[in-house]
Amino acid sequence: MTRDLFRLALRNIGHRRLRSWLTVIGILIGTAAVVALISIGQGLQRTITGQVERIVGFNTLIISPRTQGLGQRIRVDLGRLRAVPGVKSAMALRAETAYIEGPGGKAFYNVLGYDPAMDEFTAEFNLTLASGGRMTAPGQAILGSRAARELAAQVGSNLTVDGKPFTVVGVLLQQTRQTGGFGSPGISLNDAVIVSYEDFGALYPGPELALFAIVRLQDKVVVDTVKEEVRAVLRAGGERNASIIDFEDLTQRIRSVVSGVQAFLAGIAGISILVGGIGVMNTMFMAVLERTREIGVMKAVGAKGWQVLLVYLFESGLMGLGGGALGLVFGLGAAIAATTIVSRLYQVQNPITPALSVGLIFGALLFSFVVGALSGVLPARRAAQLPPVEALRYE
């Protein structure tokens, strides 16, 4: 019996082909928008998490000021941090403002104490050289592009940093970002003079006040345990404003931000599905009016009210399901096209690949079917309650 009712619903949809397609398109647009936004959001989250894992890794702790802002520093003791059981290595980035004298000018610039070992961690801290090479010995420095231009310095030039001599061994490419690295707001690499961490300590002896520090842990250690010991070392050194973030913390923050934006956009797109549902309801009401006599005949030959109800629910649900299936395909296609165009247009190094999960597939189909079925409840209920005699007399 149910199979016959299902076939009858399919036949009725086929008889009103144009109207049915227009109704399906209403569901299709909303579903496609939701699927595209969610798949792009999931792909973005996966890409960012992968980059964080590649740069930071599971066994890395990032120590930065709890309150971000210009001039914020944390007091670190790399020697004591390296002595913590389970710590493989520790490094930090320090910064101060210094008076620089070069071959053709003098001015105040930011001096950064940099450990070359940090290159693998700080993707945001782009130390791409336009000329020269890396620091290999004490007394060497790398200049930002603007600092080199204003000081009239190039590779091989001599300059003084707060009265101490340095030799320029490299000049950075022009940076498009105004800040670089974790927790270093307001520092432009274009105006920076970079020296080794050891030279920086000789320039500015005393407490190690750093913009941020990175601690690499040994394999097969309990991250939370080492994290607490690192926190205890910082507190013992008088630092109580430090935030210690591990891989799980970073991914959780990323997931929270991306999920919030994704839910907001998907909610807006979901309005389109509701509008499509109203279209389904309108189509079903019109179907009830057009087929009133048919409903009367069905009831006259013994059809029950619930059977008539089921036919109309099948019709509305199938239109919703069809719109959802097509919307799934079009949504994924739109997501792939959008990410591809953006990646090529802006030459993204790590392009986003839309993610299509099993949950998204079943969720989109189920939601579309439910919206369609619920939109047909009122018209189906009205059809089921029609008295046979009145339905047969309807013109």
**Mean pLDDT on 207-225:** 84
Residues 167 and 284 in one domain: no
Of 351, 329, 325, 326, residue with least CA distance to 340? 351
- List the beta bridge partners of residue 91: 214
How, if at all, do strands 192-196 and 106-114 pair? parallel
Choose the weakest-confidence range: 14-18, 109-113, 238-242. 14-18
Q: What share of the chain is helix, strand, coil (3-state, %, to 5)?
A: 55, 20, 25
**Mean pLDDT on 275-281:** 79
Q: What average pLDDT is seen over the chain?
A: 80
Q: Is residue 336 part of a domain?
A: yes
169 confidence band (pLDDT: 50, 70, 90):
very high
Which one-letter amino acid corresponds to residue 65?
A: P
- The CA distance from 395 to 390, in Å, is 10
- The CA distance from 177 to 51, in Å, is 19
- The CA distance from 44 to 48, in Å, is 6
- List the beta bridge partners of residue 110: 97, 192
Structure tokens at 208: 């190690």
- The CA distance from 252 to 133, in Å, is 38
- Where does a domain end: 192, 217, 240? 240
Q: Is residue 310 part of a domain?
A: yes
Number of domains in the chain: 2
Establish how many alpha carbons lie within 13 A of residue 7's alpha carbon, considering only the half-sphere containing its beta carbon: 4
Task: Give residue 179's pLDDT.
Answer: 45
Residues 210 and 155 in one domain: yes
Q: Is residue 245 part of a domain?
A: no
Q: Is residue 259 part of a domain?
A: yes
Check whether 323 has a pLDDT greater than 70.
yes
Q: Is residue 343 part of a domain?
A: yes
182 confidence band (pLDDT: 50, 70, 90):
very low
CB 250 within 8 A of CB 154: no
% of the chain at pLDDT higher than 70: 84
Residues 179 and 305 in one domain: no
Residues 207 and 259 in one domain: no
- Where does a domain end: 191, 212, 240? 240
Of 180, 208, 168, residue with least CA distance to 122? 180
Residues 348 and 297 in one domain: yes
Q: Is residue 246 part of a domain?
A: no
Task: Give residue 56's pLDDT.
Answer: 62
CB 147 within 8 A of CB 183: no
Structural domain harbouring 206 = 67-240
164 confidence band (pLDDT: 50, 70, 90):
very high
259 confidence band (pLDDT: 50, 70, 90):
confident
Q: Is residue 59 part of a domain?
A: no
pTM over 0.95: no
Residues 80 and 218 in one domain: yes
Most confident option among 15-29, 208-222, 271-285: 208-222
Residues 80 and 190 in one domain: yes
Structure tokens at 84: 């913590």
DSSP result, 30-96: HHHHHHHHHHHHHHHHHHHHHHHHHHT-TTEEEEEESS-STT--EEE-HHHHHTSTTEEEEEEEEEE
Unique residue bearing structure tokens 């997501």: 335
- The CA distance from 28 to 36, in Å, is 12
What pLDDT digit, counting tens, does each position of 138-160 carry?
999 999 889 999 999 889 899 99
Residues 73 and 142 in one domain: yes
Residues 9 and 103 in one domain: no
What pLDDT digit, counting tens, does each position of 63-91 carry?
888 876 656 788 888 888 888 898 888 88
191 confidence band (pLDDT: 50, 70, 90):
confident
54 confidence band (pLDDT: 50, 70, 90):
low
- Give the Cα-Cα-Cα angle 96, 102, 103 (nearest 5 degrees): 175
- The CA distance from 130 to 142, in Å, is 11
Task: Give residue 70's pLDDT.
Answer: 58
CB 210 within 8 A of CB 92: yes
Residues 78 and 179 in one domain: yes
What pLDDT digit, counting tens, does each position of 328-385 carry?
999 889 888 888 887 777 666 667 788 888 888 888 888 888 888 888 888 777 777 7
In this structure, the chain runs to a length of 395
Other Cβ atoms closer than 10 A to 371: 28
Task: Give residue 213's pLDDT.
Answer: 86
Task: Give residue 119's pLDDT.
Answer: 65
55 confidence band (pLDDT: 50, 70, 90):
low
Residues 284 and 309 in one domain: yes
Residues 227 and 259 in one domain: no
Q: Is residue 381 part of a domain?
A: yes
Of 187, 188, 153, 184, residue with least CA distance to 170? 153
Check whether 269 has a pLDDT greater than 80.
no
- Where does a domain end: 240, 267, 298? 240
Check whether 176 has a pLDDT greater than 50.
yes
